[in-house]
Structure 1
Amino acid sequence: MPSPPEDWLKAESPLPCFIRKYQLDSAAQLTLLIALAPHLQPDFFERTIMTQLPQAGDYPQIGGWRGKSFRGFLPTGETVLFILGSHQLSQRLLLQQIFSEEHPFARDRVLYLEPPPEGEPMMSGKLVMTQDYIDLFTQGELSRPHFSLDFPAQLITTEMEWEDLVLNSQTLQQIRDLEAWITHGATILYDWGMKRKLKLGYRALFYGPPGTGKTLTASLLGKYTGKDVYKVDLSMVVSKFIGETEKNLANLFMKAESKDWILFFDEADALFGKRTNVRDAHDKYANQEVSYLLQRVENYDGLVILSSNFKSNIDEAFLRRFQSLIQFPIPNAKERSQLWHIAFPSQVKLTQDIDLTELANTYEMSGSDIMNVVQHCCLQVLQGSYTAINQEILLKAIKREFSKAGKIL
């Protein structure tokens, strides 16, 4: 079997770095190159085949297929076996291990064989390298997925800092513990040998009223640990058609697997709610969806955060498997005072009749409510109606916010 030249493995470009990281043998290295070749030189296999086999004819042992738009030769599993194993049966059987589920290629979704039509040999399947790794090896970095039906999640970021997050001390300590796991979890699992005793990944539930900082906390955890945070759009995941919800979830988790992303399921009750007594077929399949999701969340190797208004809405089977249950309560008067004092931009003046501490003691509001009030007041100033924010503007904005929630001031 041919071997790649050794000197190129010393380079610091993504492909050699990847090979060194996973300590890939010669067969795996060449399989990578075979899968990557059509993306670098469209006529590579055509020229090679013509050089080695100049006589016209059909050579089924080489494998290969033609795409709908791509007119060149595209490799299959048979192509890999032919190039690396020739006609040696023992070598061909050994090479098939490259496509096993235990190999880093499958485990990290680097490349795979597309299942062939039923009844056809497995190795006749198309050799496919995922777009993430095509981008890594050709552009220098893994591409971020685009929001779509195949990946119904959006990257969320924030320009805010930990200092902008006002929570009680118990909640903050639980968040710090969660941050510690994100930072040091790999050390516990791999360096300290706990992988055989602990499940991979981490599962957390954020619960509390809207506007209390759950989404902001998820964004800050990603920001300060260097992880991408993807907020899952459940409206695109949940389907009324039988089997579609599971299919959508499978696509989502497959894309996220081994990427070290944080998956954030906001308003998770719609998908992670309690199972019901089976009264009809709809209940049966709804319960199957919850059971399937429980399995996928348990097997995900990164951090999964569920967000809900009420802990009691989440199925108990999920709660038993969560490492963290973190409550985000409505801020108390002291915390509301902190929020009021840091909420206004420095460019805006407040008149002397405003007592922010008194406002905090009088009106029970979430951090989101307070920011909505501040935004409305700032707009009033920018419209030219006022030169500064006074008590009258502030109280009107508070009343407006309360009315939105159906509350009487």
Structure 2
Amino acid sequence: MVGQNSTNAKVIQAELDWLQSILKARSTMNSNSGTSIREVLEIPAPSIPENSSSYANIVHKLGLNEAERFLLILAAVPHIKPQLLDMFMGKNQLTQQIFTEFGGRKGKNHNGFIPTGETVLFILAGSDLEKRFKYLSLLSSDTILFKEGHLKLSETDSDDPYLNGALNISRDTLQEITSGKVRKPDFSADFPAQLLETEMSWDDLVLNPHTSDELREIEIWLKHKDKLLQEWGMHRKLKPGFKALFYGPPGTGKTLTTTLLGQKLGLDVYRIDLSRMVSKYIGETEKNLAKIFDRAERKGWILFFDEADALFGKRTSVSDSHDRYANQEVSYLLQRIEDYDGLVILATNLKNNLDEAFMRRFQASVFFPMPQAEERKMLWKKGFPASVQLEERIDLKDLAKSFELSGGSIIQVIQHSLLMALDKESTTIQLGDIREGIRREYHKMGRTI
């Protein structure tokens, strides 16, 4: 690991040396000191053998040319070697401001120079308009570094030139080129989505056979979507992604099934926290959503909206400005879901509360019913660890037949009985403890045994 980091550091250092040569060449050309080159990119970029480092891997994976490599390393410099851009901090003696042609800006807490779109064009083109127009396309959203979200120009005020936006490298890309690893995002106010993980496997899942059959179509789509849409040309006729509704009583396996579906196919599953998504500040909800969807589209995540009726219920009648903006936020989210090219799953306990117009957008509507007696027996059987034994008078078939419980409730009962056994320093599960656990679950539902 140390050797890999050392090699990667050497590769990046060579790239930084190349960038420094470009900056020196621009300075020389600007001062009319005379130079043998006509363009700064005539300075050859260092050779980067494939698979030689994490930086090399992303350069070859994306197929970057020299201009794109320049853009990538320039965006990374404030995070790797900020002093390299100190040459742009010199002030015009007349205005006491940084030279206009340099572009650039300071961060809120960063005293160094942060390059902007204007900085990019100054370095590559100087005052040559023809070259400026030539390299302007580098900053287009259609180029691979921007299209796949590795780089972006920050937003500017509507009255400001968009090239004044700071050239930012994504955290994922920065981590990838420096360490070869990408840390999964943490749940926060800025990123209200939580990675769903489980140590359970698909074999632990107990589902109604009809539910399993409907899930099979989703699994098939995830495996073959690229061939369906691209090779078979159905992208002209079908929406890019797949939208599914999971509905049924609480504890019937909607969240677990979603998590295991991602696990089975090697895809991360993120649950969107709708309560933290909606902001009282106008426009902030859309920004929060954009952060998640933009990142999800690059990573191929499965997006899971639990208790979807909270936001996707029947439309609010517009009685004041708050209602108008609430509906506006829902419309924005609906559009992002519509355009998302991966799998979006919405879960609800109350299907009838969902907006009918929204219901028509689903390709699959999967019902998770309360388990039947045979399924409940399997849940009881699979729920207990191998390290315990059941009291002789415990009959799992009778428990399954006598008590209508969801899978989630059965696990809660099992947990209660295991804790009671541990408290008694025993490995034998007592029927009385199971019945007490069942009584508690029935009480939650407003029922009695």
TM-score between the two structures when normalised by the length of structure 1: 0.91
SS in 2 for 1:306: strand
SS in 2 for 1:112: strand
1:377-388 residue pairs with structure 2 within 5 A? Answer: 377-384=417-424, 388=428
CA contact (8 A) 1:150 1:252 kept: no
Query: 1:25 is aligned with what amino acid?
Result: N
Given candidates 34, 50, 53, the residue that maps to 1:10 is: 50
Partner of 1:268: 308
CA contact (8 A) 2:391 2:429 kept: yes
- Classify 1:386/1:29 alpha carbon distance in 2 versus 1 (closer, same or farther; 3 Å): closer
- Classify 1:36/1:250 alpha carbon distance in 2 versus 1 (closer, same or farther; 3 Å): same
**Distance in 1 separating the partners of 2:50 and 2:309:** 50
Query: 1:146 is aligned with what amino acid?
Result: D
1:8-407 residue pairs with structure 2 within 5 A? Answer: 8=48, 10-46=50-86, 59-384=99-424, 388-407=428-447
**Distance in 1 separating the partners of 2:184 and 2:318:** 40
Displacement, 1:47? Answer: 5.8
Partner of 2:14: none
Query: 1:180 is aligned with what amino acid?
Result: I
- Classify 1:88/1:193 alpha carbon distance in 2 versus 1 (closer, same or farther; 3 Å): farther
Query: 1:121 is aligned with what amino acid?
Result: P
**Distance in 2 separating the partners of 1:49 and 1:401:** 67
- Classify 1:26/1:189 alpha carbon distance in 2 versus 1 (closer, same or farther; 3 Å): farther
Aligned residues: 404
**Distance in 1 separating the partners of 2:187 and 2:133:** 40
> Percent identity at matched positions?
48
Displacement, 1:45? Answer: 2.3
CA contact (8 A) 1:98 1:105 kept: no
Structure 1, residues 22-80: CA drift from partner, whole Å, max 9, x if none? 33333222111111122222211236999xxxxx9964323223334433332111221
* More moved, 260-269 vs 244-253: 244-253
**Distance in 2 separating the partners of 1:13 and 1:386:** 54
CA contact (8 A) 1:373 1:394 kept: yes
CA contact (8 A) 2:247 2:349 kept: yes
Unaligned runs of 5+ in 2: 1-38, 91-95
SS in 2 for 1:285: helix
- Classify 1:134/1:148 alpha carbon distance in 2 versus 1 (closer, same or farther; 3 Å): same
Query: 1:309 is aligned with what amino acid?
Result: N
Q: Which runs of 4+ in 1 moved over 6 A?
A: none
Structure 1, residues 86-114: CA drift from partner, whole Å, max 9, x if none? 33312211322222232223322211222
* More moved, 84-93 vs 206-215: 84-93
Query: 2:259 is aligned with what amino acid?
Result: S
Displacement, 1:6? Answer: 6.1
CA contact (8 A) 2:248 2:367 kept: yes
- Classify 1:95/1:362 alpha carbon distance in 2 versus 1 (closer, same or farther; 3 Å): same
**Distance in 2 separating the partners of 1:114 and 1:240:** 23
**Distance in 1 separating the partners of 2:419 and 2:281:** 45
**Distance in 1 separating the partners of 2:233 and 2:245:** 27
SS in 2 for 1:352: coil
- Classify 1:20/1:200 alpha carbon distance in 2 versus 1 (closer, same or farther; 3 Å): farther
Structure 1, residues 104-129: CA drift from partner, whole Å, max 9, x if none? 23322211222334433322221111
Displacement, 1:164? Answer: 0.7
- Classify 1:9/1:93 alpha carbon distance in 2 versus 1 (closer, same or farther; 3 Å): farther
Displacement, 1:269? Answer: 1.0
Displacement, 1:305? Answer: 1.0
**Distance in 2 separating the partners of 1:176 and 1:72:** 54
CA contact (8 A) 1:258 1:301 kept: no
- Classify 1:317/1:397 alpha carbon distance in 2 versus 1 (closer, same or farther; 3 Å): same
Structure 1, residues 212-256: CA drift from partner, whole Å, max 9, x if none? 011111111111111111111222112345444334323332333
Q: Report the aligned-residue RMSD.
A: 2.4
**Distance in 1 separating the partners of 2:279 and 2:107:** 32
- Classify 1:58/1:344 alpha carbon distance in 2 versus 1 (closer, same or farther; 3 Å): closer
**Distance in 1 separating the partners of 2:243 and 2:221:** 11
Partner of 2:13: none
